[in-house]
Amino acid sequence: MWTVVYIAPNRSVADMMKEYLEKQGYLVSLRPVGIPHLGASANVEILVPESEAEDAQEALNEAFGK
């Protein structure tokens, strides 16, 4: 099961965080939130497997101070 570890304000931030987590060895999935016509400016959920969620959240906090 996938777990949301962060909701990014737009696609570019989500892509940056996804790339960082993948370099750290995490499996990452992105899922747009809200209204589809907003495109790249819509919020995006960053998801990881439930078993990795706590560690991935910690990695994001250390790297981005979120």
Locate the domains of the chain by residue range.
2-64
Q: Is the pLDDT of residue 5 over 60?
A: yes
Condensed to tens digits (0 to 9), the pLDDT of residues 9-47 reads 999 999 999 999 999 999 999 999 987 666 677 899 999
pLDDT at 66 exceeding the cut of 70: no
pLDDT of residue 55: 98
Q: Is the per-residue pLDDT at 52 higher than 90?
A: yes
The pLDDT score that the predictor gives to residue 41 is: 78
- Residues 22/40, Cβ–Cβ less than 8 Å: no
Q: Out of 3.30.70, 1.10.3470, 3.40.50, 2.60.40, which CATH number does the structure's domain 2-64 have?
A: 3.30.70
Q: How far apart are CA 43 and CA 7, in angstroms?
A: 6
